[in-house]
Structure 1
Amino acid sequence: MTYTTQLDAAKKKIITKEMKCVAEKEHMAPELLCEKIAAGRVVIPANIMHTSLSPEGVGEGLRTKINVNLGISKDCYNIDAEMKKVQVAVDMKAEAIMDLSNYGKTRAFREAVVNTAPCMIGSVPMYDCVGMLDKELKDITEDEFLKVIEQHAKDGVDFITVHVGLTRALAEKVKDSRRITHIVSRGGSLLFAWMLANNKENPLTSQFDQILDICEKYDVTLSLGDACRPGSIHDATDTLQIQELINLAALSQRAYAHNVQVMIEGPGHVAIDDIEANMLLEKRLCNHAPFYVLGPIVTDIAPGYDHITSAIGASIAASKGADFICYVTPAEHLRLPDLEDMKEGIIAAKIAAHVGDIAKGIPGAIERDHAMSRARFDLDWNTMFELAIDSEKPKAYRANSQPIEEDSCTMCGKMCSMRTVKKVLHGDDVNLM
């Protein structure tokens, strides 16, 4: 029996090699994974052109995955630096990389990323339109937008973000809204400008069926972008955001009927007490489709530390059902992240994902914490380093400040509680002098 996409195969109860690989990684029966894909609750982004891919699943009952954004820009056009970031992201075991390049001829870079990285690769074709077509935004035609999308699919990206929920009617409401930050989505702002300049409907929305044809042909997963995501906690969970989510829910069902896998993108900047409601809304409105969140960032006043404000929000989001976390770096809102910013963002996102997995009861998640606790009680430093999300920093801290007693650290020395209790339990003398 033949199939066109992972979703088509799952509907036909065909277990693909990608499903077998993901099931093994997730310690899940392939048959159960296949059922979840068939129900639209799990996706395996796996473009048929991405031959170096080691597939990952995103969705219900699976480990929370993280995505790393990178790419070339006009002000920081350095392909070598971005390729180094790609390798570091792969080495740090990020499950996905999104190429957000937005300047010049980006295809060579995109192809290099696809050929280099075994993780899922995503892109936002909207960012590439001006450079690829050598045309001003307002002069691009509907068919030309499709041309760029198909090129990205041919180049092997596993998922693409398309801001199809921002309709012309919703764009008019944005103009009159009481939002502080209006539209902070880059792709959404470009489409907003195009619609108003051309007095037409969103070209991605009006040509959604043609986009589905392209995605089915290459098995590209759609990540339905939230053009109206809040860029400030003031704007969170307002009528613009919810109306767009309702639009995306309807479009996700059209994609499902077309055998195209779908994720839904979510906020954004959200006050901490609103996060659970946002997760619930997406799951109920969008038939439990995988939810891909940027943060959420829980306060607007910590520039330079938004990897922390994001990790706080992402931990709660993941614990309440978010399936995929887009990392945020300390450079958010300030500049293109450098390599160290990227590393900090990845670690923060991995911590948040793991916190969420503990709450969701993902097999093996809490066991790792228990193993760390045992290693701490045993004062087994090497095992602690092996179990740590980031082993480099704790190793460096330990090496930088050596204690007199090996079974302690320079914080407590011989007064280490673990050392004292172990000696008592083993019947040894507790000598602190």
Structure 2
Amino acid sequence: MERLRSGRWRARYVGADGRLRSAPVTFDTRGEADRWLVGIRADLLRGQWAPPERAEVTLAEYLTAWQRQRAPQLRPRTRDLYARLIARWLAQPVGTGRDAVHLAPLALSAISPPLVREWFAAVTTTAHQRAAARLLNGSGASRRTGDPARAWARAQGLEVAATGRLPRSVHAAWSAAGRPDVRPAPEVPADAGRTTAAQAYRLLHTVLTQAVSDGLLSSNPARIAGAGHVAHPERLPLTPAEVNALAGAVPDRYAAAVLLAAWSGLRPGEVFALRRRDLDTSTATVTVRRTLVEIAGQPISYGPPKSAAGRRTVALPAFVAAALAEHLLAHTTDTSPEALIFTTTTGAPVSAPARSSVLRRARALIGRPDATWHHLRHTGATLAAISGATQAELQRRIGHSTARAAAIYQHATTERDRTIATALHELGTARTATNVRALRRA
């Protein structure tokens, strides 16, 4: 500490990098300067000290460097997701008016836990509003069920069939009335947008954790309990009967894909990236070597499976292998080894929106409006568990790197519980009979 001509006190110290630095301000008394140095020394001893000039790095600057450095390690879809999350929730203000929160121009040192809470509250509100708007307007209107012309005709008291083609006169009258849509608007779930908010929070937390590791922050200010977690409703697997019904309800060229997804546990992108050379009908196996890569605004491409464990050969039930062989004969003309097994009617890869469209009407017909292609993967994993697959066997079959991830798909079912109860009954009655005979002999 040094007293200046002005009478104020200057404090200086040597940082962990060996450089001599002065406090950013001077002090009225020697005691104030001493207390400030005590805090600096404590940070040095705890290993929490960071060069003060580093703390002036803004979040925007750090995000740019973080994206550039992480890009080689990320899958294309993950890179695209991070870029969209940063552009929407971190690079621009979130919220409206005075309540808007803009983190990007702030120095990392200025991002505090209360500020992160304000930001997350704004993200949650805005994400909900955007999700509700998509559901109720524009593209969201397509989620209304039924034919708008049919619904209007019924509202007018006209007798029209529940299904099938409407008479031209009804369509003409509906058009003359301005093509109104009287179908009830879909209900907006209370948690709409919650997944987006959780993704944005997890990304911010990850970035700031790296900033702590880089010595730019002493601790992570993003520490909101549960903010990065989304409680999804339980994904109920389909029964074998429902799988068969769904396969019969989709267009013929996709029936084998439904069976394959439900009995193999393959991811949707893996199913629709399979080529002829990946299928061996003689051994009833498929080998997963790649997956579809779908990024908005870009043509569909192919990349490696989600993880190293995703590269695997999966044995199929004989009836699924037979269905695939029949599919190749009926719906494919390209017999080269590199030809896709499943394509659209024009021979193009089947995109995620096209896959969803395939199931939309079929799942309503079988009474499972919740069913998606991921439900079919979940079904395949659950059926394998019911069949007696061990944790390690299930992990390998569905292509998960960790046992914890594979355990997600091991759900108890009534049928399996009954099997266990039967086995317990047999065990219990056998022991009881043995004990009774022993008592009688005694």
Normalised TM-score (structure 2) = 0.22
Normalised TM-score (structure 1) = 0.22
Structure number with bigger Rg: 2
Which fold has the larger relative contact order, with Cα–Cα distance below 8 Å and residues 6 or more apart in sequence? 1
